[in-house]
Amino acid sequence: MISRLLIVALVGAVVALPFFAPSHIVFLVAMIGSTSVMVAGLTIVVGFTGQISIAQASFAAFGAYGTAQLAAMAGLPHWIGLPGISLAAAGVGYLFGLLSLRVADHYLALATMALCAIVQLLLIHLEDWTGGAVGLPVPPLEVGTRILTRPIELYAVIMPCAALTIWFLHALSTSRIGRAFAALRMSEVASAAVGIPVLHYKSFAFALSAFFGAFGGGLFALLTTYLDPAQFGILESVRLIAIAVIGGVLNPFGPIIGSAVFVLLPETMGALGRYMALVFSLLLLVFVVVSPQGIAGLYSRLRAWR
């Protein structure tokens, strides 16, 4: 009941925000929205399924650069290009998941980490396609004849996507697919013994993770209007993991909570801003040791305790 009230209040606040908040706040909240979509992918693969992926930034890059270049080079409108590139990412993610047949645990972590490093190097070296180290401008979102560049317009596009993503996480986690993911996380042997095709489901989790990574990356590209390969390395992958873990990897609202912390905290820190990345790393460490279920987990623990 309390949860339901909270959700209604949250939706109300998101709808009402652009009517009274200044535009830089609207921009920040849209940033929370696009980040949470990227992180939602990690919530599925790391949280629900218990697999390790240090390549989420690569899928975000795939979506961001793909969206930008499909528009710039092929003239494809974003509303086709963004879902299209995300579906392509899902395909790549599925193939990627098949690797987990041969590789598990820290080897998987390392393989994904190496892949992420390769993708970033390619972003820098394939200059004709990616703009190289200097980066790439993103063509703006056009709807009909209207060009959407103001934060409030992008907000109106991004926030519904973020809301749908959270709904998707919730619906997934309470379906047979979500239960199969949870089963994999706890025992692959027992999962296979009850007839769950382990490899297919792992790959499927990676596919979903890649889809949301790319979709969120595309939204991020539209919002920031400029892409820099430095934003898509291993450090960014780890940052996304930190957001997922601190928000809570077993809760559909985890990505939003984590993204809100990571986007808003630096804004309120002022001169201490340069210690922000350090603070986040320490926060991640504290959460992993003290409350592996993240902030969302703290909340439900608090409720159980009351």
Q: By CB under 8 A, name the one of 25, 99, 152, 264 that touches other proteins.
A: 99
- Rule CB under 8 A: which of 233-262 touch other proteins? 234-235, 238, 241-242, 245
- The count of chain residues that interact with other proteins, using the rule CB under 8 A, is 64
Out of 21, 76, 182, 265, name the contact with other proteins by CB under 8 A. 182
227 - beta bridge partners?
136
Q: Name which position in 91, 288, 301, 303 contacts other proteins (CB under 8 A).
A: 288
Which helix (H) or strand (E) segment is 269 a member of?
helix 254-269
**What is the C-alpha to C-alpha distance for residues 29 and 169, in angstroms, rounded to an integer?**
20
Count, residues in the chain: 306
Q: Which helix (H) or strand (E) holds 141?
A: strand 141-143
Q: Is residue 121 a contact point for other proteins (CB under 8 A)?
A: yes
Q: What is the largest CA-CA distance in the chain?
A: 59
By beta-carbon proximity to other proteins, the closer residue of 142 and 188 is: 188
Contact, 57 vs 67, CB < 8 A? no
Q: Tokens in use for 160?
A: 């519904």
Least separation in angstroms between CB 56 and other proteins:
13
141 φ, ψ (degrees, to nearest 5)? -75, 130
Nearer to other proteins, 30 or 240 (CB): 240
The residues, any chain, with a CB within 8 Å of residue 133's CB and separated by 6 or more, are 124, 229
Binding site for other proteins (CB under 8 A): 46, 50-52, 54, 99, 102-103, 105-107, 109-111, 113-115, 117-118, 121-122, 125, 167-168, 171-172, 175-180, 182-183, 186-187, 189-198, 234-235, 238, 241-242, 245, 274-275, 277-278, 280-282, 284-285, 288-289, 292
